A and B are shown apart, each in its own frame.
Chain A
Amino acid sequence: MSARDRMEIDPPYDFPGYKSTALRAPKQPLIRVAPHPLEIAGPSFSRSFAKESEADLTTWGKSAPLGEKIILVGRVLDEDGKPVRNSLLELWQCNSSGRYAHPVDQHNAPLDPNFLGQGKVLTGDDGQYRFVTIKPGAYPWRNHPWAWRPAHIHLSLFGNAYSQRIITQMFFPADPLLPIDPIFNSVPDPAARQRMVCTLDLEQGIEEEALGYRFDIVLRGANATPMGV
């Protein structure tokens, strides 16, 4: 896997459609170096760092949050298809009306006192994870006229090596806002974009209670280095 391939999978820093990149995108070339011994290794979290209750975002309040309850399952793998075990996966999202439980979010939509929107797990022996949550709403933002973010869940992953650390977003299938979302479309390759969209997996849901969705996440190989280093 070369550095060039990686560039084509990830978005560029400078993407004019997403206005906040204008003053934050580095303009100088990245310096290519061999990985430091610490960058091949990675931090190690014990299983007690994520409590079992943190995988269920619907039991945090006094009663169930409003919205469409979903079960989100998937596996974390590396580029060779090997499971990434015992790795920290953190998640955050807005509520079903499109509002984050965050002071900066002043969007005129109701907060849900029973929904905080944060979760975390350590992946299992097969790289698997499972969250119970609600489907997040779409919400407007000020990037351009009529800008609305499609429903999405933020995911933060550590993998098993520091070089695998990544933050991404997961989207929902057939969302009509996807074609107009500059953040989703900042990924140049349409096939790579689709790897950020979960799939309906009814049998992972709960009959007469919750829809199931599947989202597998593929991290770079733990020993991948840029070409020519």
Chain B
Amino acid sequence: MGNRTPSQTIGPFFHVGLKWEDGEKVQFAGSGDRVVLTGCVYDGAGTAIADALVETWQADPSGKVPGAGAAARAYGYSRAMTASDGRYTIETLMPGACTGPGGEKYAPQLNVTIFARGLLKAVRTRVFLAAADAVKDDPLARAAGPRVNTLFASRDSKAPEVWRWDVRLQGKDETAFIEF
């Protein structure tokens, strides 16, 4: 129908209205394996972006869509604001693998939306919390070709709950962004 309301930039002052208490801590009804996802968001000159909003949405540890729960805030969703060094950190539980309506096999991943000053509309992508061989049949891995390499979080060898993933909005190793 083409009557949608257009997107506009989040601007630099969103902290006024979008701060959630413990927004970077994902809530679930059940338990699972703890994951800390952290990294920095960079612009095309390699400068850290101190005014980005990073949101994630994910399956629960069993691979199901998190339902409405007793918690006031939605289960399975996080909101983090980057610090002056561009860093975001999200604490969550390992999402389960899940299957799409046509039998597609989705590897464990977080759906990611990033807003920032200078982005007139959000960028969206998915980050994999899995090794490359566990992702090769994932629909996005197939569609992205070699650019899938920008979508792997890397597991810290000393702290196995920590996964690191940087986002590059532009330039060399630009993160693969998606539309769906």
Contacts and interface: CB of A to CB of B under 8 A. Distances in A.
A180 interface: no
Nearest to B71: A46
Given A10-B6, A156-B18, A18 B118 contact: yes
B149 to A, nearest CB: 13
B57 interface: yes
B5 to A, nearest CB: 5
Interface of A: 1, 3, 5-6, 9-13, 15, 18, 20-28, 30-39, 41-46, 48-49, 79-80, 90-94, 100-102, 104-105, 116-120, 154, 156, 162-163, 165-169, 183-184, 186-187, 192-193, 195-196, 217-220, 225-226, 229
Contacts of B72: 45-46, 48-49
Given A25-B170, A28-B174, A1 B111 contact: no
Interface residues of B, number: 76
B74 A24 contact: no
B10 A33 contact: no
B93 to A, nearest CB: 14
Given A39-B111, A168-B8, A183 B180 contact: no
A212 B115 CA distance: 30
B169 A102 contact: no
A33 B180 CA distance: 5
Given A30-B178, A45-B73, A195-B3, A183 B13 contact: no
B7 interface: yes
A91 B6 contact: no
Interface stretch (B30-38, B137-145, B153-161): B137-145
Contacts of B179: 3, 6, 30-33, 226
A32 B178 contact: yes
A226 B178 CA distance: 11
Given A34-B139, A44-B74, A104-B13, A39 B7 contact: no
A38 to B, nearest CB: 5
18 contacts: A24-B43, A25-B119, A25-B169, A27-B170, A28-B174, A32-B143, A32-B178, A33-B139, A33-B179, A34-B104, A37-B100, A44-B66, A92-B16, A156-B10, A166-B5, A167-B9, A195-B4, A217-B5
A120 B14 CA distance: 13
A142 to B, nearest CB: 11
A31 B126 CA distance: 11
A226 B7 contact: no
Nearest to A167: B10
Contacts of B58: 38
B120 A11 contact: yes
A174 to B, nearest CB: 19
Q: Please indicate which of the listed interface residues A36, A186, A192, A225 has the most CB atoms of chain B within 10 Å of its own CB.
A: A36
Given A28-B147, A31-B177, A37-B98, A23 B10 contact: no
B176 interface: yes
A76 to B, nearest CB: 9
